[in-house]
Structure 1
């Protein structure tokens, strides 16, 4: 639990960083980093950053392989994987990368509360990675750019409810199993698990002066509606301490626009999601709460199944606020 105020930044991670780092053209890399010698080192090290020619054919197997390596690379115990990563960082110098090299770094740099893509001593960045090998690897190098290449300030959570705890001055990569959009069932299951990740935010938000800022400009685009629902659920619990932002791409310099978050007050949560199962479907008779604001917002009628089902907001809230399951 954090004993001082902290600003928590939450964002999903896409592959925009790899569009640059893994480019075939050395000139394209140089245009991005603004340094010929550094571009040459990055181009030479592309296979060590992430070599697509050696990816496992099965997406899940590949994600598991990269996840296992991330555990070893971010472990405090010195080992071969960690040593190889440290050696790679000496060559590609993420501490010298500019913010425009990826959408995630650019969004942080555009935040008026930061004006830099580096994580400060009173900040924590939580990167929600897709459940793919490339997605996890891209998250790692985004995190390293945010910490100035310091691996000992990067945490990795293979499971959203994992025991690894992060804190101020650190960047945490959170893997959501199933978040690869290959199958609707797996993807929706991954989004349900966002609520399990709420425990990390609860610890970071312990100080009443702490705030949480969601960055919804890029990353895994199909996950953004779910992340917005998660932000709305947190706002129900923490009020205006939780905000959501998107980058306005056509402004110079880039800036963020605050997005509206519609959430019921925390004193209006009790029992509103009673009799909804863990799968998100309503198990009771009749219909859920008659409160108009909840219908279509926290749950919706699925016509072809003749069932009520939680929305992304409802799924997150069911996990984050146990009182929603009780009697009204």
Structure 2
């Protein structure tokens, strides 16, 4: 990683891009991209972007299948990589407008209307895309990343697991698969938050320069993941202060402009032992410490179960600041 200050952009990825390009009507694509020839090229290759007809019936199996393909496509060589490079030449993601996906629109709103991340410039920038654990979500993440790099496959990385090495650099975009981010089960989502907290050491490296900053983009993406991403941003802000910000674009705004969202963040010197007694699944053995002063903030009481459980923010905070779980 460069020693220069870096701006890290973080966002979850939904499937709005696929909704716009995987369609049986080329006119819809043309409305989005604004160019008839480009729209036809995308339309003709839409099944190469994501073959919905070839999806497995088992969602987990489909996610694993697409993940294995992404590993090959983002490697240095091989048939899958060659096929992706050929596809990129056909569909020209460097010409895609920001309106083709909510993720590009959100990024552009915080970058004066530009959704493409340059290699050079006065300030190095890098992007971390957190993909939902689904086949379509992973494919959407790949082509959002390619649009951000102007079609440069060499600047796109894929992390199939949370433990995969993160080698972000100037102008690079990394896709992270977050297991559990496809279910409507609360316990699985708490598990997803716990895994998201595992990215903490990477942020320590990315933000090593005291002038480096991190911006969370909360306009697009996988909507049910927004509380998790917001909680993660708040936990990071407890560690890095105002260098961590969150942004969103007003839904009906015609201008590429975002607003900064407020983030709660307790001081790190007040965190020791505050979440002691919480188990790996997020539930407390007994009542939270300190007369439960963080109720509704880091944990919540579930009347139907008669016990306490960490909120997404509490889960992120506990993973990022281990001192929170130490017994006082």
C-alpha separation in 2, matches of 1:279 and 1:185: 7
Q: Normalising by structure 1, what TM-score?
A: 0.95
How many residues get paired?
324
Paired residue for 1:147, among 146, 149, 155?
Answer: 149
Cα RMSD of the aligned pairs, angstroms, is 1.4
- How much does 1:114 deviate? 4.8
Tell me how far apart the structure 2 counterparts of residues 192 and 44 of structure 1 sit (CA, whole Å). 41
User: What is the aligned counterpart of 1:195 among 183, 197, 200?
Assistant: 197
Partner of 2:322: 322
Structure-2 separation of matches of 1:288 and 1:2: 42
The question of 1:4 aligning with 2:4 is answered yes
Give 1:223 deviation, angstroms.
Answer: 0.8
- Decide whether the 8 Å contact of 2:113 with 2:257 is kept in 1: no
Deviation of 1:291 (Å): 6.1
Q: 1:249-288 residue pairs with structure 2 within 5 A?
A: 249-283=251-285, 285-288=286-289
For residues 33 and 296 of structure 2, the distance between their equivalents in structure 1, rounded to whole angstroms, comes to 46
Partner of 2:117: 119
Once residues 51 and 227 of structure 1 are traced to their aligned partners in structure 2, the CA distance between those partners, rounded to angstroms, is 29
- Residue 304 (structure 2) pairs with residue 295 (structure 1): no
Structure 1 position 94 matched with structure 2 position 93: yes
Q: What's the offset of the Cα at 1:5?
A: 0.9
User: Relative to structure 1, is the Cα distance of residues 320 and 54 closer, same or farther in structure 2, using a 3 angstrom cutoff?
Assistant: same
Quote how far apart the aligned CAs of 1:157 are. Answer: 0.8
Distance apart, 1:321 and its partner CA: 0.8
- Give the superposition deviation at 1:258: 0.8
1:308 is aligned to 308
State the alpha-carbon separation in 2 of the partners of residues 8 and 95 from structure 1.
21
CA–CA distance in structure 2, aligned partners of residues 156 and 115 of structure 1 = 26
Aligned with 1:211 (options 190, 199, 213): 213
Contact 1:2 1:207 in 2 (8 A): no
C-alpha displacement of 1:182? 4.3
* DSSP-derived class of the 2:290 partner: coil
Partner of 1:41: 41
Of 196-205 and 183-192, deviating more is 183-192
Structure 1 alignment gaps of length 5 or more: none
Distance change in 2, residues 1:65/1:182 (3 Å)? farther
- The reply to whether residue 156 of structure 1 matches residue 155 of structure 2 is no
Q: Aligned partners of 1:152, 1:90: CA distance in 2, in Å?
A: 14
> Given that residues 190 and 315 in structure 2 are in contact (C-alpha distance below 8 angstroms), is that contact kept between their aligned partners in structure 1?
no
Extract unaligned runs of 5+ from structure 2: none
**Deviation (angstroms), 1:298:** 0.7
- TM-score using structure 2 length: 0.95
Residues 1:84 and 2:83 are matched in the alignment: yes
Asked if the contact 2:187/2:281 (under 8 Å) is kept, the reply is: no
- CA–CA distance in structure 2, aligned partners of residues 134 and 250 of structure 1: 26
